[in-house]
Amino acid sequence: MGVGVSGGGSLGLAFETVPGTYVAPTKFHPILSESLEFQPGNIYRRPIRQSIDNIGMVPGNVNVTGSVSAEALDDVVVYYMYAMRMGIVKTGTTPNWIYTATPTSLAAFPTRTLSLTVVRNSVVFGYVGCVVSKMTLAIQNDLLQMDVDIIAQNETTQSAPTPTWGSTTPIGPGNWNIGIPTATQVFDMDTFSYSIDEVAAPAYRLKNTGPNAGRGAQFVSMGERTVQMTASRDFMDRTDYNLFQAGTPQSITILGTANQSTNNSIQFLIGNSYKSAYQVVMGAQGDIVRANLTYDSTIDGSGNATQLVVHTQETIV
């Protein structure tokens, strides 16, 4: 299955049956921007001889990097979650499907690789073996938006897809339930940014599959994961600030529900977080005193640094 977009161009994403083998997109969603690009690691030769210039070039290893920015739709976020190092459990029945994603330390690779199809000015670019190196979900322009950093094995040429569009909407104002700690609902936060960084990198191997396929990354490896959240809150008193100074961990739950149904929601769970930054800001006379915080996640008693729970009316995998 897959994801894609259209407008001034189109972008399509699909689960690959065989990692690195192209699959045409089958699901489409709007994006705000994309910056995917093919990166050749050309090797320029400058051996010692009677020349002070490069004497030639050998085509080097290649990969694709870039990012996709889009509204965080519940039936789209799940696709990108599968391209991370996540253990995902699907439960529920129609129309309430629940995808619970828990980052795992037992795997070196993402759950699935993706094919990404980008059409720019009617020219088609097909990227294969795509994984999500970093996912950021944040409030921007009062809506929940996502930025996904992509690393892909290689690029192929494909035919243009024909997009079809869903009807889901992003999570907006008036649809948030924030608990810090988890059981205590707070009403003093106006923005946040939650990210899972897998520190992915292309992994090359020597092989004899030809000059083009042979130059692409054999796979994309994952590094040491970092889960972090930043937020802006009203600074009411020193109670929470004192917990920061004492290094007291807190749990965080953020639940956002889309307008169309309670069956369309995204929930972020951080069981054990430490505040690594607490900046108290005072503006002009009479201004509200604000606090800018950074929460760094560590594993909780069950061994999880975070969890994502997505309710959607679409059956995906």
3-state per-residue secondary structure call for 237-292: CCHHHHHHHHCCCEEEEEEEECCCCCCCEEEEEEEEEEEEEEEEECCCCCCCCEEE
Residue type, 271: G
pLDDT at 6: 45
- pLDDT lower than 70: segments of the chain: 1-7, 211-213, 284
Structure tokens at 141: 């322009």
C-alpha span between 61 and 8 (Å, rounded) = 31
Mean pLDDT of the residues in the chain: 90
Number of Cβ atoms within 10 Å of the Cβ of 96: 14
Q: Running DSSP on this structure, what letter comes out for residue 77?
A: H
- State CA 156 to chain mean position distance: 23
CA nearest 221: which of 200, 198, 206, 204? Answer: 200
Per residue in 137-177, pLDDT tens? 999 999 999 999 999 999 988 888 888 888 899 999 999 99
**ω into residue 95 within 30 of 0, thus cis?**
yes
216: left (phi over 0), alpha (psi -120 to 50) or beta: beta
Please give, one letter per residue, the 3-state secondary structure of 1-51: CEEECCCCEEEEEEECCCCCCCCCCCECCCCCEECCEEEECCEEECCCCCC
pLDDT at residue number 215: 87
Q: Which two tokens stand for residue 302?
A: 């069950």
Convert 51-80 to b/e letters by CB count within 10 Å (16 or more is b): eeeeeeeeeebbbbbbbbebbbbbbbbbbb
